Structure 1
Amino acid sequence: MTDATSPAGQRFVTLDVVRGAAVMGILVLNIVAFAMPFPAYSNPAAYGGDTGINLAAWAANFVLFDGKMRTLFSMLFGASTLLVIERARASDRGGASAHYTRMIVLLAVGCLHFWFLWFGDILALYAMCGMIIYVFRKQSPRALIGWAVVLIGLSVIFYGLVSWVASMAGSPGLSPEAAAGAIEARRALELEVGANSGKIASELAIYRSGYAEIVDYRLGKMTWMPFTSLFGYGLETVALMLIGMAMYKSGFVTGDWPRASYRRWAIWGLALGLPPLVLLASRIVTTDFDTPLLFASLVAISAPFDIPVAIAIAALLILWIGSGAAPALRDRVAAAGRMAFTNYLATSLVMTSLFYGYGLGLFGLVERAALWLPVISMWALMLAWSKPWLDRFHYGPLEWLWRSLSRGSLQPMRKAGREPVPV
């Protein structure tokens, strides 16, 4: 189930296809942040419609996509990072130097992406977490999973406590200090996921303005957010990358397992993850999107269920590859995955041009369910252009830039003979 050519130079089509599906699927989440004030990302009652088809769109997103695509993307990053480290060492380029140079370049690109294009950047966080996971590269799959469980547990406990404190706001019998702390925690969560009219009005004004005003806002008010994201999401992201490294070492993401094993993981992952997520979504709706519950659901309660669903999705994709069905579509998804870096940043360019004031100015004007139209359109663009590009060139444009900057020299781009070792 891999298109191996040699131990050092093989291209794992399974990695490419799953990565391609992940970079396409993550747009289902990000599209709301592109198109609406940030509280709407998780709370339809804050903006974008919370009844009828819009509520159904939120529920489907929460159960099937939210957290799952980010989990899958993070796990694939960990797996691919370990693959690059191994190939760098095999080619005598030095595992540590090659790795940290790549992460420094990625961090710089992530910061530029955040400040000058879109605030939802994940590359800077991935670069910082990528620097951390290097120390785990020699661990066994069992040890990697053990570390991941510990880190996810710490993240769940921390955010669970934050949500619990916020839920105590206004409760009788609290000391003045405890009451003040609970109110402050509640206020912080309201800014993140609540229907805060002041924050929503502010974001509408900012993102309907011109490019210079938006960049000035990010540089002035959000300067350090690319770095502080490590403190908010670092534990979980490192944990997911470690799981991805374990999945690579065990042969899961390279397609080396028997098909029966992938079927079992798909069945059990969906069975363990989907029913609790459906119940959780129902509870959120019946409590009218209670802020502490919603926040806890997004960053703590759903995490143990998002992971098995994400693994099940990967297993289903690998089964599809092995079945030989729709080979043309498989090749196009794989090409989108090989160009995930380019496609991720191209999505930001297209969507900000569509929604922000310096583009078509649709920010805040499109309801949640209708956002599927630009999502599907962008998927079509990814699938349409990635394979023709890779038929002519060794790398996507930004993959080539990343590789060239990391190695300190321009890498061959146009195909003319033997394929280079893919990284």
Structure 2
Amino acid sequence: MPRILSLDIIRGIAVMGIFFANVIGMAMIDAAYFHPPTYGFFSALDHIAWAVNYVLVDARFRALFSILFGASLLLITDRAEARDQPAWRAHFPRMAVLLLFGLVHYYWLWWGDILANYALIGMAAFFLRRLPVPAMLMGAVLALLVQHGPLMAGHAQQLPRYEAMRAPDATPADRATYDAMIARASESAASIAADKAAHENPLTHAREMTLPENRWQPFKSVTDYGFETLGLMLLGMAAFRSGLLTGSWPRHHYAVLGLVVTLPSLAIFAFGTFTIHASGYDRMAFYWWDYVWLPMLQPICAMGYIGLILWLFHGHEASATGLRIAAVGRMAFTNYLGATLIGTLLFSGFAGGLYGQLSRGQTWLIAFPVCALMLAWSQPWLARFRYGPLEWVWRSLAQGRWEANRRPPAPSAKPG
């Protein structure tokens, strides 16, 4: 079955986009990922980097990644059944190997791993693959509401109480309670120093931070945000079955989806960015936007991005630009883990030693050459090999045999 270039192009853009968010989490203390003033937030470049990520990147490209994972689930199982092979035999070994990769990624490289969660939720999503498209869409909406609805409602009820606790006319007891809550959410100089020391190398971080505090997080992620992942996978499955992700819709339909969905979404994100900036990056402003207004907007905006991408590339998937981006997407697994490896080498004390040394803006700029590297090496590699390096290992382990990867040399033309 030939490659679906539209899928590869979206996946390529997603894996590059997600690194603009991930690199911040790799380079500085965890709290700064969620509240910029906590660390490394000094210059205009730092503010610009945060604003661009907040408006265009944060959670959107992870949502794209999750949507495409659902589509890939169907693609793999459909191909297996077309070869008269049981779908479960193609799917579950892949998920088991992906889980192993995810655990290694989480425990040894970076706390922000998503692969283990994909593997665990992907095992459950397998049993929903035969649902009709309307049922998939309903299931996606329901799963996202189950994930975000109670949290959004709970925060909407609690936040006015917190606002009252810090108001000028608040009682001393309320003010003390609020100050204590903020202190618990803040990072002390001692905790920042301990965090930096733990990042001297990945082994130290795993021993001193990850294992004592978050040993079971890859599995706990199923209850923490598993319904969100499942909802996005179902959305991807529905988009694949409907032909949206395969590029088979008329081009003007993609334009409508992209413009009608994306522009209002980005306007809301821009308004949130302005509101947070105008508040002086107040924690309560972040809470309102991060936990009440935006969670359900992220997947909607991600679908708008899909519409925009496929509108721009419709009929031009095989162009020079399309093929280069598609190559990044075909090697998304290698590029995703490779970007983490680059981050580990740059920021860990045993190599680059840059952890906690750069501001947010300086860190953000690192994403540009890393994405350029993805674009530069993926296509030449695939001209010589069938799969990316880690895709080949993943595929071989899942099948229980080492597959040939190197492409045979092109036959030379005979003289005369």
Corresponding letter in the other structure for 1:213 = T
> 1:271 — aligned with what?
263
> 1:3 — aligned with what?
none
Answering whether residue 382 of structure 2 is matched by residue 390 of structure 1, we say yes
Q: Is the 8 A contact 2:7 2:245 kept in 1?
A: yes
> 1:34 — aligned with what?
26
Corresponding letter in the other structure for 1:204 = K
CA shift at 1:199, angstroms? 4.2
Answering whether residue 329 of structure 2 is matched by residue 329 of structure 1, we say no
C-alpha deviations, 1:252-273, integer Å up to 9, x for none? 1100000010000011112331
User: Which of these residues, 107, 115, 120, is aligned with residue 115 of structure 1?
Assistant: 107
CA shift at 1:169, angstroms? 4.9
User: Which of these residues, 61, 66, 69, is aligned with residue 53 of structure 2?
Assistant: 61
Relative to structure 1, the CA distance from residue 170 to residue 327 in structure 2 (aligned partners, 3 Å threshold; closer, same or farther) is: closer
Corresponding letter in the other structure for 1:15 = L
Matched residue SS, 2:121:
helix
Corresponding letter in the other structure for 2:389 = P
Matched residue SS, 2:37:
coil
Q: Is the 8 A contact 2:258 2:311 kept in 1?
A: no
> 1:242 — aligned with what?
234
> What is the aligned residue count?
400
CA shift at 1:158, angstroms? 2.7
C-alpha deviations, 1:78-97, integer Å up to 9, x for none? 11111111111221221123
Q: How does 1:329-368 map to 2 (within 5 A)?
A: 329-368=321-360
Aligned counterparts of 2:217 and 2:398: Cα–Cα separation in 1: 24
CA shift at 1:48, angstroms? 1.8
Identity fraction in percent: 37
CA shift at 1:165, angstroms? 6.3
> 2:201 — aligned with what?
210
CA shift at 1:161, angstroms? 4.4
Aligned counterparts of 1:238 and 1:56: Cα–Cα separation in 2: 33
Aligned counterparts of 1:198 and 1:166: Cα–Cα separation in 2: 30
Q: Is the 8 A contact 1:163 1:293 kept in 2?
A: no
Aligned counterparts of 1:72 and 1:277: Cα–Cα separation in 2: 17
Matched residue SS, 1:324:
coil
User: Which range moved further: 45-54 or 101-110?
Assistant: 45-54
Aligned counterparts of 2:358 and 2:299: Cα–Cα separation in 1: 31
C-alpha deviations, 1:269-298, integer Å up to 9, x for none? 123311211122222233333435424533
Corresponding letter in the other structure for 1:102 = R
> 2:15 — aligned with what?
23
> 1:5 — aligned with what?
none
Could you list the structure 1 runs, at least 4 aligned residues long, displaced by more than 4 angstroms after superposition: 169-172, 186-191, 194-199
Aligned counterparts of 2:182 and 2:348: Cα–Cα separation in 1: 26
Relative to structure 1, the CA distance from residue 96 to residue 356 in structure 2 (aligned partners, 3 Å threshold; closer, same or farther) is: same
> 1:97 — aligned with what?
89
Q: Is the 8 A contact 1:155 1:300 kept in 2?
A: no
> 1:282 — aligned with what?
274
**5+ unaligned residues in a row in structure 2: which ranges?**
166-172, 411-416
Q: How does 1:156-175 map to 2 (within 5 A)?
A: 156-164=148-156, 167=159, 168-169=161-162
Q: Is the 8 A contact 2:68 2:236 kept in 1?
A: yes
CA shift at 1:324, angstroms? 3.0
Q: Is the 8 A contact 2:259 2:308 kept in 1?
A: no
> 1:141 — aligned with what?
133
> 2:373 — aligned with what?
381
Q: Is the 8 A contact 1:39 1:195 kept in 2?
A: yes
Corresponding letter in the other structure for 2:333 = F
Aligned counterparts of 1:28 and 1:364: Cα–Cα separation in 2: 17
- TM-score, normalised via structure 2 length: 0.89
Relative to structure 1, the CA distance from residue 281 to residue 331 in structure 2 (aligned partners, 3 Å threshold; closer, same or farther) is: same
> 2:222 — aligned with what?
230
Q: How does 1:6-21 map to 2 (within 5 A)?
A: 9-21=1-13
Aligned counterparts of 1:319 and 1:388: Cα–Cα separation in 2: 27
Corresponding letter in the other structure for 2:336 = Y
Matched residue SS, 2:366:
helix
Q: Is the 8 A contact 2:42 2:359 kept in 1?
A: no
CA shift at 1:171, angstroms? 5.4
Aligned counterparts of 2:181 and 2:344: Cα–Cα separation in 1: 29
Aligned counterparts of 1:170 and 1:10: Cα–Cα separation in 2: 57
**5+ unaligned residues in a row in structure 1: which ranges?**
1-8, 173-178, 419-423
Aligned counterparts of 2:130 and 2:244: Cα–Cα separation in 1: 17
> 1:4 — aligned with what?
none
Aligned counterparts of 1:280 and 1:380: Cα–Cα separation in 2: 30
Aligned counterparts of 1:405 and 1:300: Cα–Cα separation in 2: 42
The structure that has the greater radius of gyration is 2
Q: Is the 8 A contact 1:44 1:50 kept in 2?
A: no
C-alpha deviations, 1:292-317, integer Å up to 9, x for none? 54245335521232223212222222
